[in-house]
Chain A
């Protein structure tokens, strides 16, 4: 086919385009464009009616000018006129112009919608296609209002042509993305699901995208899609490479559809029906097997398409996280890719392995590739690949390999790209802290960090090392000695001077006995750096000096001389001058006792979330880090063992802003009873008129995850992440909700609302304050909720969030995990007491029992952790059968306290559990049994 034989050759347009191309300068181009605009304007305004062809040509020219990057403020009406032309080509250009340059001029929108309506009703598939493309391209709310009701009908009508069905499906998808509230669910949904069975693979391809998006938000309604998707997938992966004709792409049968189907399946947990599950496992195995077969073509398209399906299958395997065999096979496959000659595959393998590292089944398998990953860090030529390697090392790090990984990261840091240095510094600092058995190693690591990449060591990092040294007296002497030695280097980074100044000021006395580090030598060493430092560091050093006056009376005179010098007492900087004056005075007038009291050693810092971790979360977007940290923690302290200075244990005050040494972070405020009125429906902004969105997909799953834990990510989509931190004491609690804007655009009218049903309002009291209605791009806002449990309750409050993002209205609802078991206080008791109470609660209403199948692997340690996380005490050696778990606790409500006993009997062979709850109140037994059954 020769190049332009198809063109509807608009000669004027071609001439114009070549004129533009011949322009030698930007000015010449603008001049030519202005000339053309003037010409078009006069034609449009002229008395002579333009024929369709000319109109089309001029509209097309305007479009071209716009696409060059110039503003166009006229021509819309002419484009709209083209829409009602009977000539296909004119209509087509009209639609293209509207799609690209849509203008929310209400008069025009009405006309455009009218034209679309006519074309949709025309029963001419080509015209219908154009109209649907236009709706999908514009996707505005106005279009959704006009057509969201109509398109589902077109989609499922029996006589609709295949190509129109395809457009209708994706058109509806686009409208659902922008205005989900306007797309009515209804009878059509079940018929849409059956499009997965359609004979036309193009229809299936388009429909699968639609179903996936709908299923994410309405998982229940689209549940039947799972078995249909599995059987479709199975037919594709087992077909011969020629069976699917034009849907086979470089010998790979329907790769796009396969990827979409695998993606759809990721909206759901593993299929419950054993037959479906078996068939899916077979599919996944077939896909993994095919990866080992010799390629059918040498073309990169063949391997890309084949591997696209493979990677999506691995994502599904990781998502299910339930088949150890598949997980390990996936890991081995990725291991092969780590050494593939294609950079793209190495990149993806590193990325995919990061998620595998967080599964308990494959963590160990991932670890076996450590040498390859380290090698990638050293030899990859592309920084984005090296970045993935750093991420993976971070993800696979645990106590067994922390020393090696930290050492490798440190040595990489010496040559790392500037763009990723800060992140590596944070990661090293976190790993060193998290997996330190020996804190001298930790101190060495951080000092190395400062030596190698001092400029990239943020304040949080050096604050944190000081917090840790102050809190651990076993490392203080070592730290003092090490910083003293490090400071001897002729050129050392200012951050080292800060750390050194602070630590010697506190613990210099621990090394003062050695004549090589006598007080005077320590002082001279620090003071030799003084003049090279910035004002804040000098201020810190002045504080060190006054601490020295207290620690070492023998250098008092020397220090007073320094403080007295003009360069201090008359320093132009007001902070330095003030410190010099006050410290000098203090050293002169205060008695030794007073000095010793004022300058006493710093008290230990309260344990709280590492400020570095907070910083990394902020940098990376909280999702990645939190997910990883959570999974690391879930793998359990028993594997990684040892002291865990991370937030998990501490009832921590979140300190997202890391102020100096965290001193500014408020202590956990006492959680008082709700202060004000009886308005239990805590409406943050009472003027929010919009309807509340249905619960977000996955909300129930996320809710269940929080039953046994208090912190983590509750919800996440492309725009928004919601994190929780909460603590409970007796019948009171406080929850911090963190709203993170993941985009770079502001959220406006940001309005979170807590919604309780009438029943719930009577039993659970929630108090909160409004948050700022504007959330900047990348920012996180925090909302505190005070909680009081009045009496036992069953439902959970709903958190509804509404905001505007880039002109679209967003509405999200999630269930807030405030559950009855949060008000549990554990009770320890001996075997005898337990059974005595057990018998006392033998009334049939007091006992609730549930027998259920294990949804997770039956691991004793995990089960124990869950029972403790649930809030009850875990009583050892109570049950005669050591395999059983027994717990006891008291639920605190404002009105009463309810004693609870529980017993969980696993049956490994049958993969079943029997859970028995006995409490003094039937509803409590019932609710606790429901909540806990979901966890295993």
Chain B
């Protein structure tokens, strides 16, 4: 996989992960073009399209589009399920994940992704193992963080 983008129906980029070296300018250009292309597609259309010399696999979950760019040899359907598994992981971690979770905890979204995909390839497909890794990290974190503050900023989800 060359990159993964998460963006909202309004075209706002929520997460970007690049597995090939590209300049910032190029990343912005690609993002702009792809967001436009994908948003212009109708709901019943197929989840795959050719774009430049890559294959784009995308799927919409509620207000968010998950969009992956894979290479010619790569498998479209399994990529679709990569997206789904990532959504499941986010869902399990945040508890019915919504766009706001990813906005406010963007760093977590990146950490979870890194446990699941590395260098553009699937690293660990077991949901249990991925979440175990993240939770272990959270435990470490709580031990160290409690000194500074309690995990108190709950409720923003309702407020915004």
Contact = CB atoms under 8 A, between A and B. Distances in A.
A87 B118 contact: no
A808 B22 CA distance: 10
A806 interface: yes
Contact of A263 (B44, B73, B80, B129): B73
Nearest to B155: A4
Nearest to A132: B118
A67 B76 CA distance: 27
A2 B140 contact: no
Nearest to A208: B121
B142 A3 contact: no
A849 B137 CA distance: 67
Contact of A382 (B22, B45, B111, B135): B45
Task: Give the residue among A63, A87, A132, A807 with the most B Cβ atoms within 10 A.
Answer: A87
B121 to A, nearest CB: 4
Interface string B84-96: 1100000011110
Contacts of A201: 125-126
Contacts of B16: 67
A307 to B, nearest CB: 5
A384 B49 contact: yes
A101 to B, nearest CB: 10
A140 interface: yes
B136 interface: yes
Contacts of A3: 94-95, 101, 154, 157
Interface residues of A, number: 88
Contacts of B124: 163, 166, 202, 205-206
B127 interface: yes
B129 A163 contact: yes
Contacts of A685: none
B133 A129 contact: yes
Contact count band on B = 35 or more
Given A4-B156, A8-B145, A136-B119, A60 B125 contact: no
Instruction: Identify whether the interface residues of A are mostly helix, strand, loop, or mixed.
Output: helix
Interface in A298-330: 301, 304-305, 307-309, 311-312
A89 B141 CA distance: 5
A347 B57 CA distance: 12
Contacts of B138: 6, 8
A384 B142 contact: no
A513 interface: no
Contact of B121 (A100, A170, A385): A170
Given A167-B118, A344-B48, A806-B21, A254 B125 contact: yes
B39 interface: no
Interface stretch (A11-19, A592-600, A904-912): A11-19
Interface of B: 13, 15-16, 19-23, 26, 28, 42, 44-50, 52-53, 71-73, 75-78, 80-82, 84-85, 92-95, 101, 103-108, 110-111, 114, 118-129, 133, 135-138, 140-142, 144-145, 148-154, 156-157, 159-160
Interface of A: 1-9, 11, 14, 17-18, 21, 53, 60, 63-64, 67, 69, 87-89, 92-93, 96, 100, 126, 129, 132-133, 136-137, 139-140, 163, 166-167, 170-171, 173-174, 177-178, 201-202, 205-206, 209, 245-247, 249, 254-257, 259-260, 263, 266, 301, 304-305, 307-309, 311-312, 343-344, 346-348, 381-382, 384-385, 387, 621, 718, 742-745, 806-808
3 smallest A-B Cβ distances: which pairs? A174-B119, A308-B77, A308-B78
Given A347-B46, A382-B46, 18 more contacts: A3-B101, A6-B135, A8-B142, A9-B153, A53-B149, A89-B140, A173-B121, A246-B126, A246-B127, A246-B129, A256-B81, A259-B75, A263-B73, A263-B75, A343-B46, A382-B42, A806-B26, A807-B21
